[in-house]
């Protein structure tokens, strides 16, 4: 089997693993912040840790492991292709699992629960800072207006635009990760042979 096929198969498998892990951490983050966490710091930190830091570390680990598994030598194009396949499959699993199945069938009132948790965290924060009830009510009223204007209705057009927009970002991240994980020695050796 040639290296390009091995890269695609390896990173297709890693994309499935990464997608399931992304989905798990996203759902864990949702339940953590809606479980009554009153701390504003935890309300902000949980999504960052569960949806950014841990997935980024997992992605870096799988990129490194994947490169090692295919033999450690690949060009920038091969690295970009493999990493793009992995990230795109992970995105599809995350998108279908969270945005379509979880949000529509398991937790259809999820947005309201997150908004209520945000209001609760802000109330606790303002009380801890010593604001009077009138100021707290005013700030919470403004926050409720802002949250009411943010609707997340899934229409076919919004789904298509989200997939297209996300695919562009995934390609950008694939380029960034490929530049980090490309093998400079392999590229320079192949240029010498030419």
Mean pLDDT score, 121-138: 85
pLDDT band with cut points at 50, 70 and 90 for residue 34: confident
Flag whether pLDDT at 136 surpasses 50: yes
Q: 91 lies in a domain? A: yes
pLDDT value for 151: 61
Q: Is residue 140 part of a domain?
A: no
127: confidence class by pLDDT, cuts 50, 70, 90: confident
Whether residue 55 is contained in a domain is answered as: yes
The domain in which residue 50 lies consists of 3-108+153-184
> Domain total for the chain?
1
Domain-located, residue 77: yes
- CA-to-CA separations, 14 to 9, 118, 181, in angstroms, rounded: 9, 34, 16
160 in a structural domain: yes
Q: Tell whether 168 is covered by a domain.
A: yes
pLDDT digits (tens, 9 = 90+) for 50-91: 989 999 999 999 999 999 998 888 889 999 999 999 999 999
Question: For the residues 26-42, what does the mean pLDDT come to?
Answer: 82
125 occurs within a structural domain: no
Asked if residue 44 is part of any domain, the answer here is yes
């Amino acid at each position: 089997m040639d290296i390009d096929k091995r890269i695609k198969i390896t990173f297709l498998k890693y994309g499935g693993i990464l997608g399931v892990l992304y989905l798990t951490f996203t759902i864990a983050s949702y339940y953590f912040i809606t479980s009554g966490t009153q701390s504003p710091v935890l309300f902000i930190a949980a999504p960052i840790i569960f949806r950014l830091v841990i997935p980024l570390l997992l992605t870096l680990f799988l990129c490194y492991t994947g490169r090692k598994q295919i033999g450690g030598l690949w060009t920038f194009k091969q690295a970009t292709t493999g990493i793009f396949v992995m990230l795109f499959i992970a995105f599809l699993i995350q998108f279908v699992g969270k945005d379509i199945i979880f949000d529509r069938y398991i937790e259809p009132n999820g947005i309201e629960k997150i908004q209520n948790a945000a209001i609760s965290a802000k109330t606790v924060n303002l009380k801890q800072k010593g604001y009077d009830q009138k100021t707290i009510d005013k700030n919470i009223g403004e926050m409720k207006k802002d949250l009411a204007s943010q609707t997340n209705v899934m229409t076919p057009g919004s789904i298509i635009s989200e997939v297209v927009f996300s695919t562009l970002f995934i390609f950008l991240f694939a380029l960034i990760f490929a530049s980090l994980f490309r093998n400079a020695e392999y590229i320079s050796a192949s240029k010498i042979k030419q």
